[in-house]
Homo-oligomer: A and B are copies of this chain.
Amino acid sequence: MLTDRQLLILQVIIDDFIRSAQPVGSRSLSKKSEIQYSSATVRNEMSDLEEMGFIEKTHTSSGRVPSEKGYRFYVDHLLSPQALQQQDISQIHSIFAERIFEMENIVQRSAKILSELTNYTSIVLGPNLQENRVKKVQIVPLSEGTAIAIIVTDTGHVENRRFSLPNGMNADEIEKMVRVLNDRLVGTPLMDLHDRLYQEMANLLKRRIANYDLMLQAFAEIMNVPIHDKLFFGGKMNMLNQPEFSDIEKLRLLMDMIEREENLYKLIRPSEGVGIQVKIGKENDNIAMENCSLITATFPVASGQRGSLAILGPTRMEYSRVISLLNVISTDLSKALSSLYEESEE
């Protein structure tokens, strides 16, 4: 168990290091007003803290640097929720004050403000499209051979794809097809569309539409909405400002990781529940992120769905501030998205 003095010293070391990115020595600590002991005493305590694995030396005679265990302890036990500046809060609220109708727009704005206020990289994952339900299907013929299929979902998302019309399909038949599709598909979640088309509708269409199979195939393909939702980024380049990435090799490794979105998706998709989760360094299970922490805020959206908002920064991150910001923004974003969704559910 740590004594109060050890807690204090650990806290001050981590706070200092987060600010300066420089190893912290006993003398500079003992000069701080929070710490009333001589450097020798501090040295003894630091030696103990090191033995317990909370801090490390970069070389024999260097100051100490927080270890991952240290950060973990700091996040779990020492973090005092930092009051945000009024200015920041009102800046955030102003972003959400306008009534915005596009999910993408809201999400993109959230990513932007988050990265600007933190100077780290933000990643936002909106609610899953797969659970959206069909509101309306429309087919717009473009020319002899092709047409645009449009699906509008209950949340106002519009999905569209161009496809080849089967030979000899005329305007009448398209009309018929659209009617059947609307009769049958409205209310179906996008994730079930494919099965629905093939299982329930094949027979129905067979009776009414010539070349129904080609049409069906074309249509089923269109419905293949990607399973992974789009990730939105803010401040991808903010990592350039962090001294830990002045080594271009590390930077490249990290950037390559970010570009491969599937990886990131796994890291950010919340396993369960809502709230804030902090993953420090190797906890992320990814070599490129050894020097990084990922803080994820998962929030509820109407109808049991969840969205996530994440900040990727160096392990030497301003945890307190970032968590406060995530809390504010995720609450606002949750409200904004929920209202979009609820409106459409009536």
Contact = CB atoms under 8 A, between A and B. Distances in A.
Given A138-B138, A240-B252, A346-B143, A158 B156 contact: no
A154 B142 contact: yes
A143 B255 contact: no
A252 B346 CA distance: 48
Centre residue among A162, A240, A345 by max chain B CB count within 10 A: A162
A154 B251 CA distance: 44
A158 B163 contact: no
Interface stretch (A144-152, A187-195, A275-283): A144-152
Query: How many copies of this chain sit in the oligomeric assembly?
Result: 2
Interface in A122-161: 135-136, 138, 140, 142-146, 148, 150, 152, 154, 156, 158, 160-161
Nearest to A160: B158
Interface residues of A, dominant DSSP: mixed
Interface residues of A, number: 37
A220 B168 CA distance: 38
A244 to B, nearest CB: 12
Contact of A101 (B161, B256, B346): B161
Contact of A140 (B136, B164, B251): B136
